Homo-oligomer: A and B are copies of this chain.
Amino acid sequence: MAKIIECIPNFSEGRNEEVINGLVEVAKSVAGVTLLDYSPDESHNRTVVTLVGDDKGIQEVAFQLVKYASENIDMTKHEGGHPRMGATDVVPFVPIKDATMEECIEISKAVAKRINDELDIPIFLYEESASAPQRVNLAKVRKGQFEGMPEKLKEEEWAPDYGERKIHPTAGITAVGARMPLVAFNVNLDTDDVTIAKKIAKAVRGSSGGYKYCKGIGLMLDDRNIAQVSMNMVNFEKLPLYRTFETIRFEAARYGVNIIGSEVIGLTPAKALVDTAEYYLQIEDFDYSKQVIENHIIG
């Protein structure tokens, strides 16, 4: 059965159609890889590409995209609203099916080494692939951005994981790593008081003492005049969706507020929802990989 790995590289170009189309062409050119989505953002001047493939194909397509970006994006001329440090800013590998986190870490290191060997772009490993605790969080790795990187690389603790202590003159530096799939999960409340959603977000998110694998904010949905807890679930196996949902339910209850619905934005692995069904139906001893028929048919 073929392993399936997702890769979601972010490129520092969201305006020049020729370059964006070039990225898409490269994304479609590698056997064993499917382009699921690409989202250019003009204001961020950034394009997020979503690919799935087998373990060989995903490494090849990631390298070829980084190569294309290094030849067609000049960071010395880049402007945009999103923090960035390289022509290819970040390359995460995500285990989807029959692939372990360990395999994705290995893949991230192999691709990182090849990028540095063949393109002379230095690499920070991040998230699960990080070589030190301060390199896990992308925001910390990227701090200083493209313009500040030459100085940052001179600091004792910020030698690249691959390459010398100097950026590529036009392609900058790239973060490569492995992480769990992320589920964008929002919960809607029957209140127009956004402070309640903010308090609940604070209760559930890791950064303020809640669940380690939940990031979240409270916001208003102006068109519906309701408050929402908007979250990224960054490890649905360690923090299942239902647990956050039920926590929001009992936190909301203290304000006399009820959940009126939820949203899953974009893609989710089936397992995130199957795990949740297992909880509510109280299924005993369910074996996801064996009992879900699609797992035997793919590949």
Which A positions have Cβ atoms within 8 angstroms of B? 4, 6, 34, 36-37, 52, 96-97, 181, 188, 241-242, 245, 259-264, 266-270, 273-274, 276-278, 280-286, 290-294, 296-299
Tell me the smallest distance from the CB of A292 to a CB of chain B, in Å: 5
Given A37-B290, A267-B291, A277-B274; A282-B260 close (CB under 8 Å) = yes
User: Are B268 and A4 in contact, CB atoms less than 8 angstroms apart?
Assistant: no
Instruction: Closest B residue to A286 by CB, please name it.
Output: B264
* CA A237 to CA B258, docked complex, whole Å: 28
CB–CB A282/B259 < 8 A = yes
| Complex interface: chain B residues within 8 A of A285 (CB) | 263
In the docked arrangement, what's the CA distance between A273 and B280, Å? Answer: 10
Cross-chain contact B284 with A294 (CB below 8 angstroms): no
> Of all chain B residues, which has the CB nearest A37?
B290
- A283 B263 Cβ-Cβ under 8 A: yes
Residues of B within 8 A of A261 (CB): 282-284
B267 and A96: CB pair below 8 A? no
Taken together as a complex, chains A and B put the C-alpha atoms of A283 and B183 apart, in Å, by: 13
Which residues of chain B are near A277, meaning CB under 8 Å?
A: 241-242, 273-274, 276-277, 280
A2 to nearest B CB, angstroms?
9
Residue of chain B at shortest CB distance from A260: B282
Please give, as numbers and ranges, the residues of chain B lying within 8 Å of A268 by CB-CB distance.
291-293
B293→A181 contact, CB < 8 A: yes
Q: Which residues of B contact A276 (CB under 8 A)?
A: 277, 280-281
In the complex the two chains form, is A267's CB within 8 Å of B293's CB?
yes
